[in-house]
Chain A
Amino acid sequence: MTRTSPQGRAEDGISLPEKLPVAITVNGVARQLRLAPWTTLLDALRDHLGLTGTKKGCDHGQCGACTVLVDGRRINSCLALAVMQDGASVTTIEGLASNGVLHALQQAFIDHDAFQCGYCTPGQICSAAGLLAEGRAGSAEEIRELMSGNICRCGAYPNIVAAIQQAMGQP
């Protein structure tokens, strides 16, 4: 028995999509890029702007490692095409500290050992920053629920919750 994959396509001649101008403000700095429409915001940050603090863990919106803040709201940057963010203001993990002083969440993550390998950490911290801005989380139970889009395979969850509580000014 023989099998073939993938099914052949009829059309001939492959041409690449045209690159389009994109203006994004990243961590307060205005950036001009020319990107193909298929480039995700995540790849734009990592490959085109050299901001590798934002991580890729699945590229499918399943893990939260790529979480950044767009106009203050947390999103999975792997699910956003960069060209659609034209004019947006993006904050990544590299933009959270100010003048060398860590953001309260960054310090709390260190204090509570809220990570091990560190790969999910930028996404967790950005997601937590978005969560704080949403003002929805009060109890530990609520934090757990609202942080469940960010997987930590190292299993630092209880420490992540404790860190967020610290940053929220809770005991």
Chain B
Amino acid sequence: MTTYIGTATSRIDGHAKVTGTAKYAAEFNAPHLAHASVVGSTIARGRIARIDTSRARSVPGVLAVLTHQNRPPMASDDSAYKDDVAPEGAPFRPLYNDRILFSDQPVALVVAEEPEIARLAASLVRVEYHVDLHVTDVHRQRHSTFALEPVERLDDNPFAPPPPRGQPEHSLASADMRHRAEYFVPIEHHNPMELYASTVVFEDEGRLTIYDKTQGVQNVQRYVASVFELDPSHVRVMSPFVGGAFGSGLRPQYQVVLAVLASLSLKRSVRLVLTRQQMYGLGYRPAMLQEIELGINAHGALAAITHEATTVTSQHENYYRQETGWSGLLYRSEHARYAHKLARLDLATSCDMRAPSAATAVYALECAMDELAVALKLDPLELRLRCYSERDQHNDRPYSSKGLRDCYRRGAEAFGWSERSPEPRSMRDGTELVGWGMATGVWEALQVPIAVRIALTANGHAEIACATSDIGTGTYTIMAQVAADMLGLPLDNITVRIGDSTLPQSPVEGGSWIAASVSNGIATTAQAIRAELLHLAKAVPGSPLRDLAPDDVVLLDGRLVSKRDAAHAVSIADVMRHGGVDRIEQEKTASFHHTGAHSHNTHSAVFAEVKVDEQIGIIRVTRVVSAVAGGRILNAKTARSQIMGGVVWGIGMALHEETLIDHTFGRIMNADIAEYHVPVNADVHDIEVIFVDEPDGIVNPLGIKGLGEIGIVGVAAAIANAVHHATGKRVRDLPITLDKLQR
């Protein structure tokens, strides 16, 4: 009875987005709105010696200049600043004291009647610093790291290095062939198109309504209430539309603290929009160094994998994810060992960025696999098939489903992989060298407890409410599709409300977990609606449904219908009229019982073609085929876009993206969206997305796995491998810029 699930449905918020009526955080208004501008630190580490705000305050129209010395009170305990997804350590507290932890850290906030006045006055704040020595170079810090303890069981800490298995050293020593190399991915910044912003509306009795750019309205709501010791019921956080975030909006960002600070101080509504430059102080994908060693026996089966990673965090928090374990998960290997070290730098804390850890770790692994294939004179795809793992070896259990073989097969067919000539530099198109490379991708199918409220009215309309967000992922649309099917209503009769902290509980939107979680949440609540309708229906004299249980009926075309005999049906409108109600409302929480019997993962096979102009070294990614095993696809149209977006990110990771720091000053040099290169339209050519069938009745009742991350994983490796195939040059540090090809 599915009508909408799985179809290519256009976004229900599409009209709002193409007409400019969709409103983002900086676009909400309030009477007497004041505007704020941030003054950032010019040093990377030290203390504020003195701040002179007199000239800034003398500018007509300036309302206040807030610093750590005159700000309203804020909580004094680290625990108050711990948001739902904070890592270990002491969270950064904006304008809290005189300590400078990173360059461009906010040191003062100017609030004025007009944004331009605030901006001018911010340039007039004079700050004197006591400067301490800083370090921002991961290469300099690589020998002063600290190691994360491996765990016995990954369930204890899914981000720690997994337990070793077998005797990897011994096995490597006796392997027929070994490959060892180091791979590097630099710091990358998310750069969502929308600038980080908060509009704080100051209401009666000091109640605050905050329009914030965030991936988690309830996370921000709890955090703001805790930092400012406010009655949580007086703080409401809204983000009906989010102009991209990619992980940067999982934690509350400093602009919301500063905007609230200003609003509380002035008892006025305040808007703060960060500049693109300031957004480089919000968090980033940590740079990572990875050393991978693979040992293989003569018939192409992996004997051992060792994977050692160093990633970057701040001086005050320990951010890390499962950096190393992907290797021993993706391929069968009896022996494996992992190590993960953190390097502290004088930067803001690193944070999640699209497919955190998998994007980087799998890049390294998949390049190493390619190098091994070249050394063995084996087709890279054939090597993957020989090392295919049917079980999750970390936890020694099967997958709930794993369609990776189909991804390899269908991806290779669509790409024409069998036409590849194996020798590097053997394929040409006119003056250009042509390279074909491939790689595997893997991510986790996660799910989280979530609550959904459904209000069904007698006229056959339903409102679906949940405090999750749509950061461009298509959440609005898939929620409407699932609800329409579960309630048996046309899509147009469904209204979706999200992005409001007063709605039913939802965790932050990230990790690709919302599609599965919220869809099953809708199904659970729809069940309760159906049960209530059936209860009412049985009260109707002579009801054809009187002997049926809730599982014996479905909702279809505005009617409650017996599954046994479709002629036995009653209309929702009649049932509700008879029962004397014009609206039924249910709110249920869906939780997911993980028995531990299976592992839940998504997979992909990525094939890339590059063309390289050898004279000047320009690399173009002319074709990418991404074949994805991601469980049940809810919306063929938006799902394809998700994967396509991930592929574009992979192109950026492979060829463009790199945050450059002047280590003398500890300051980011390319903190804007022209000098920090992201792919533009001309960089992106043909992208073909394939979803292989992957029915999965175990992962969750609807068989959904989520797609936000898997699209990027493996792409950079496929491109790097294609570049090697085209040129014979192996570049092991990203991005692969033309100077590296000329070396």
Contacts and interface: CB of A to CB of B under 8 A. Distances in A.
Interface in A82-119: 92-94, 96-97, 102, 106-107, 109-111, 113, 115-119
Interface string B111-144: 0001111001101101111110000000000000
Contacts of B55: 9, 14
Interface in A3-47: 3-6, 8-9, 13-16, 36, 38-39, 43, 46-47
Interface stretch (B18-26, B91-99, B317-325): B18-26
B193 A119 contact: yes
B273 A50 contact: no
Contacts of A50: 29
B58 interface: yes
Contacts of B471: 117
A70 interface: no
Interface string B194-232: 110000000000000000000000000000000000000
A65 B17 CA distance: 13
A116 B673 contact: no
A62 B673 contact: yes
A75 interface: no
B682 A148 contact: yes
Contacts of B124: 6, 9, 14
Contacts of A119: 24, 192-194, 243-244
A54 interface: yes
A58 to B, nearest CB: 5
Interface string B622-647: 00000000000000011011101111
B440 interface: no
Interface in B636-662: 637-638, 640-642, 644-649
A79 interface: no
Interface in B701-722: none
B472 interface: yes
A166 interface: no
B11 A57 contact: no
A2 B120 CA distance: 25
A141 to B, nearest CB: 8
Contacts of B127: 4-5
A161 interface: yes
Given A53-B20, A57-B673, A118-B17, A151 B680 contact: yes
A138 interface: no
Nearest to A53: B20
Contacts of A14: 55, 58-60, 120-121, 124
Contacts of A144: 681-682, 684-685
Interface string B453-497: 000000000000000000111100000000000000000000000
A121 B19 CA distance: 9
B175 interface: no
Contact of A120 (B43, B49, B193): B193
A110 B14 contact: yes
B680 A52 contact: no
A69 interface: no
Contacts of B243: 55, 117-119
B116 A39 contact: yes
A115 B17 contact: yes
Contact of B192 (A1, A39, A153): A153
Interface residue tally of chain A, by bracket? 35 or more
A60 B674 contact: yes
A49 interface: no
Contact of A60 (B24, B246, B648, B672): B672
A158 B23 CA distance: 25
Contacts, number: 215
Contacts of B130: 1-2
Contacts of B120: 14
B128 to A, nearest CB: 5
Nearest to B128: A4
Contacts of B358: none
Interface in B30-61: 42-43, 49, 55, 58-61
A102 B15 CA distance: 9
A14 B674 CA distance: 33
Given A119-B194, A153-B678, A8 B58 contact: no
B167 interface: no
A99 to B, nearest CB: 13
A138 B124 CA distance: 50
Given A3-B129, A113-B637, A145-B682, A155 B123 contact: no
A52 B42 CA distance: 33
A76 B131 CA distance: 40
Q: Which of A51, A119, A153, A157 has the most CB of B within 10 A?
A: A153
A105 B489 CA distance: 30
A30 to B, nearest CB: 20
Contacts of A36: 114, 116
Contacts of B647: 155
A96 to B, nearest CB: 8
A30 B362 CA distance: 57
B679 A55 contact: no
B373 to A, nearest CB: 29
Nearest to A58: B276
A165 interface: no
A16 B244 contact: no
B27 interface: yes
Contacts of B116: 36, 38-39, 43
> Which 8 A-B pairs rank lowest in CB-CB distance, beginning with the nearest?
A53-B20, A155-B648, A119-B243, A117-B472, A118-B17, A116-B472, A155-B645, A93-B20
Given A53-B19, A155-B684, 19 more contacts: A3-B43, A4-B129, A5-B126, A47-B115, A53-B21, A55-B194, A62-B276, A63-B193, A113-B638, A116-B638, A116-B645, A125-B18, A147-B681, A148-B681, A153-B244, A154-B244, A155-B645, A158-B686, A161-B681
8 contacts: A1-B130, A14-B59, A14-B60, A60-B672, A94-B19, A119-B192, A155-B648, A155-B649
Interface of A: 1-6, 8-9, 13-16, 36, 38-39, 43, 46-47, 50-60, 62-63, 65, 92-94, 96-97, 102, 106-107, 109-111, 113, 115-122, 125, 143-145, 147-161
Interface of B: 10-11, 13-24, 26-27, 29, 42-43, 49, 55, 58-61, 114-117, 120-121, 123-124, 126-131, 190-195, 241-244, 246, 273, 275-276, 471-474, 637-638, 640-642, 644-649, 672-674, 678-682, 684-687
